[in-house]
Structure 1
Amino acid sequence: MSVQWYPGHMNKARREIEDVMTQVDVVIEVLDSRIPDSSQNPMLSTLRGDVPVLRLLNKKDLADKDRLDLWLKHWAGNEGILAHPFSTLDKADVSKISHWVKQMVPHRGSAEKPIRAMIAGIPNVGKSSLMNALLGRRIAKVGDEPAVTKSQQKLKVTEGFQILDTPGILWPKIENPDASYRLAVTGAVRDTAIDYEDVALVGLAFFISDYWDALATRYKLKEKVSDAYELLKIIGSKRGALRAGGKIDMHKAAEVFLNDVRGGIIGPYIMETPEMIAREELLVEEAKAKKEAAKQARLAAAMPQRQQASQRAYQDKKHDK
């Protein structure tokens, strides 16, 4: 089972992006550096076609540097793709964007032919914060919840550089269930669309496996706990997530843990590697092929029944005549 969330305005945003893509010289795709692949929108890759993309791995201060380097190496050498670790809070990073986009479209950048860049990405990755940082003023609404921006805005950064903001969009069906939970853990999916406890258990299983020391330090754990459910109960008891009679409030415990994860309080992390994503994509394709084969088998099995029904209908019609 996967987490799904695709409000109506996102479908409208997809159409708007498609309509204006012919006017765009470069796409600035803001990614969450903690989930470099899962925070990419495959629909955007289709919509942009041959338009080059600058991938800003935002929230770099929350990311595991070693794993971030794996992703930079993975994308290095891909024509039309330029990727950089980034933070909207780092003025030096923000100041480099004009140079980066100029690298990608060197034939533009004058007042007569300004670089027209589209800022895009899934919800809650920092698009609005980037716009505000580029413009040096608060022009785009910023919020902790995903899908704050719901319309496009076109603004001038310099005489030779314009930006077009777009609403954050997910895609109609997230086919990789593991990726959907990573999106939920990091906060890209509105909290009302998820089950806190389920998402927290997935997040805890990941930290137990990959970042146990950071987890143990944050919650003062002396011995390793391998069971995510038991660990969530321990976190609840340590952080006062209790109901009457001392029973653990698992929803509250999950809330505490997810807030710590999203705020970087447990420590820097990245939930996926290129190798992991390659394995998951293979499993998704195998599952799709299996589902399609089962569908064709059902159709084939039903065919004789359909033919018999059609023959009976023909005979009945002939008899009536």
Structure 2
Amino acid sequence: MQIHWYPGHMAKARRMLQENLKLIDVVAELLDARAPAATRNPDFEALFAGKARVVLLNKSDLADPDATRAWVEHFQAQGLTAGAVASTSNAGKKQAAALIERAAAPAVARMREKGVSKVVRVLVAGIPNVGKSTFINRTAGQARAQVGDKPGVTRGKQWVRITPHLELMDTPGLLWPKLEDERHARHLAYLGSIRDEVMDAEALAAALLAELLALRPAALTERYARVALGMDGAELLCAVCESRSFFLPGRAPDTERAARIVLDEFRAGRLGRITLETPEGEAHAEAE
């Protein structure tokens, strides 16, 4: 499944980031805890070189907790500040603020040595649909204050105060121009980080079902009664139709409707807490 999607607004957003990097002290990179490797933009390494970094595995409430712990340890072993958050709830809110403050500590210390009381500016970065704005709103809480435009910041960009010494800025989701890893590209599409309008929903849902059957068969057999081991993706999609009585006139399976349901239920966590990638699996895939 070849996926090519890099709309013009992403190139514009990338230029905006480059123009405003001088204002940034810390980069908080949000990943989707269900697919941390696929949702990590490889261009960020060069784009944010020299900046303090913190990696946050967002939507951890939808991911396998053991896999999330393994990913946090994986990033920490690389010398990165890392942790798990769930931006749709209060879970991890205080931890996220603490992790950001830890990453910002060297910048704060340098300014204090100069006698400057500085508000540390944190750029929240990530690909589309990892929950950046929700994360900012949840982290800031009810007392958040819109700080407003800063000198040199692209017009309309708002900073949000989360502590007396920390401000966060949301950014547009950024993919990279060429998605060369087809497996990662599929994972991005499963999660909704690539617009559904540019995808073949039935092919995508069939691929997801096949992958989930290999990864977590019980998640499918418990949710869709007619699903059975040994089915391929197309058969699984038809089994979903039978499980939910999705039929067209003449009892032809309504695979288009089933595909939308499968994708929606996976994204909402209704199939259970599932992680598509592990550090060990990614290392094995890279070695092949």
Superposed pair shares fold, TM > 0.5: yes
Identity %: 34
Displacement after TM superposition at 1:136 (Å): 2.5
- Identify the residue that residue 6 of structure 2 maps to in structure 1: 6
Displacement after TM superposition at 1:224 (Å): 2.1
Pick from 253, 256, 261 the counterpart of residue 251 of structure 1.
Answer: 256
Q: Does 1:277 align with 2:276?
A: no
Q: Provide runs of 4+ in structure 1 moved above 6 Å.
A: none
Q: Is contact 2:30–2:130 with CA below 8 Å preserved after alignment?
A: yes
- Identify the residue that residue 21 of structure 1 maps to in structure 2: 21
- Identify the residue that residue 103 of structure 2 maps to in structure 1: 104
Deviations 1:149-208 (A, max 9, x none): x97332322321111211011111111011000000111111101110111111111111
- Identify the residue that residue 70 of structure 2 maps to in structure 1: 70
Q: Is contact 2:202–2:256 with CA below 8 Å preserved after alignment?
A: yes
Query: Cα gap change, 1:247/1:92 in structure 2, threshold over 3 Å: closer, same or farther?
Result: closer
Which one-letter code corresponds to 1:215 in the other structure?
L
Query: Cα gap change, 1:92/1:71 in structure 2, threshold over 3 Å: closer, same or farther?
Result: closer
Which one-letter code corresponds to 1:100 in the other structure?
L
Deviations 1:226-278 (A, max 9, x none): 32211110101222321110001211111111111111111111111123223
- Identify the residue that residue 40 of structure 2 maps to in structure 1: 40
Query: Cα gap change, 1:122/1:22 in structure 2, threshold over 3 Å: closer, same or farther?
Result: same
Displacement after TM superposition at 1:77 (Å): 2.8
Cα separation, 2, equivalents of 1:247 and 1:45: 49
Q: Does 1:196 align with 2:209?
A: no
User: What's the Cα RMSD here?
Assistant: 2.2
How many matched pairs?
Answer: 273
**TM-score normalised by length of structure 1:** 0.79
Aligned counterparts, 1:148-297, within 5 A: 152-221=157-226, 223-282=228-287
Cα separation, 2, equivalents of 1:64 and 1:265: 13
What secondary structure is seen at the aligned counterpart in 1 of 2:92? helix
- Identify the residue that residue 83 of structure 1 maps to in structure 2: 82
User: Which runs of 5 or more residues in structure 1 are unaligned?
Assistant: 141-149, 284-321
**TM-score normalised by length of structure 2:** 0.88
Cα separation, 1, equivalents of 2:198 and 2:167: 35
Query: Cα gap change, 1:223/1:181 in structure 2, threshold over 3 Å: closer, same or farther?
Result: closer
Displacement after TM superposition at 1:88 (Å): 1.1
- Identify the residue that residue 51 of structure 1 maps to in structure 2: 51
Displacement after TM superposition at 1:115 (Å): 1.5
Q: Is contact 1:219–1:238 with CA below 8 Å preserved after alignment?
A: yes
Q: Is contact 2:34–2:275 with CA below 8 Å preserved after alignment?
A: yes
Which one-letter code corresponds to 2:62 in the other structure?
L
Displacement after TM superposition at 1:51 (Å): 1.3
What secondary structure is seen at the aligned counterpart in 1 of 2:105? coil
Cα separation, 1, equivalents of 2:120 and 2:176: 27
Q: Is contact 2:56–2:83 with CA below 8 Å preserved after alignment?
A: yes
- Identify the residue that residue 132 of structure 2 maps to in structure 1: 127
User: Which runs of 5 or more residues in structure 2 are unaligned?
Assistant: 147-154
Q: Is contact 2:241–2:253 with CA below 8 Å preserved after alignment?
A: yes
Query: Cα gap change, 1:204/1:125 in structure 2, threshold over 3 Å: closer, same or farther?
Result: same
Higher relative helix content: 1
- Identify the residue that residue 146 of structure 1 maps to in structure 2: none
Aligned counterparts, 1:298-317, within 5 A: none
Q: Is contact 2:145–2:161 with CA below 8 Å preserved after alignment?
A: no
Q: Which has the larger radius of gyration?
A: 1
Cα separation, 1, equivalents of 2:156 and 2:191: 24
- Identify the residue that residue 95 of structure 1 maps to in structure 2: 94
What secondary structure is seen at the aligned counterpart in 1 of 2:29? strand
Query: Cα gap change, 1:193/1:160 in structure 2, threshold over 3 Å: closer, same or farther?
Result: same
